[in-house]
Amino acid sequence: YAESVALPAGVSLRGVARDKVVIQPKGAVGIVLSGAGKSTLASFTVRGATANGIQIQQTQVAATDIEVFDTQVDSKSKANPGGHGIQVIGAPTLSIKSARVHHNAGVGVFAQQVGSVLIIDPTFLVAPTFHTGTGSDAAIIDPTFMPGSRFHDNAGGGVAIIDPTFLAGDQLVGIID
């Protein structure tokens, strides 16, 4: 599909499989979800979007089996140039399972003012490896399931969760070095 998709909260988008349904907007955000409500995103790919691959505002979202890559910065926007694979602002919750978010100009997953962020990575890796690309990488690994989520080679980093209540010096628990 060669255009952007805009959905109100409460509407879900499900493809057949992420390698069979590909959204390739020219010069636009791939998918925009906005408003109060719950939506599900499943089994599709967003490739080559501008500003953000998937942009979510205030909507509770559960995303499963999606891929977002090659998102470019919007050089015309000074307020939100983006380049993020997935950008979520003001949502009550964000749940991502079995996602591949990579090679985006910004952060892989950017979450700001989100009540809770849950990244379920059903990847079983006996010896986990972390890719070093143009930016930081992240993998959240649960060794009890297969196959899983990867956030790598995003120029702005793997995952950024902006929490205004976090204070410098606070301890982060569960981070894999």
In this prediction, residues 70-92 reach a mean pLDDT of 85
Give the ranges where the chain is alpha helix by DSSP (H). Answer: none
Please, which pLDDT band fits residue 74 given cuts at 50, 70 and 90? confident
**Residue pair 78/50 in contact by the 8 Å Cβ criterion:** no
**Residue pair 95/65 in contact by the 8 Å Cβ criterion:** no
Q: What is the pLDDT of residues 137-168, one digit of tens each?
A: 444 444 444 445 566 667 655 566 655 554 44
Q: What is the pLDDT of residues 89-121, one digit of tens each?
A: 999 988 888 888 889 998 888 888 888 888 876
What's the confidence (pLDDT) of residue 19? 92
Better pLDDT: 45 or 124? 45
What's the confidence (pLDDT) of residue 164? 53
**Residue pair 68/99 in contact by the 8 Å Cβ criterion:** yes
How many angstroms separate the CA atoms of 83 and 93, rounded? 22
How many angstroms separate the CA atoms of 148 and 138, rounded? 13
Please, which pLDDT band fits residue 43 given cuts at 50, 70 and 90? very high
Q: How many CA atoms lie within 13 A of 67 on its CB side?
A: 17
**Residue pair 73/49 in contact by the 8 Å Cβ criterion:** no
Q: Which two tokens stand for residue 78?
A: 């000074």
Residue type, position 174, single letter: G
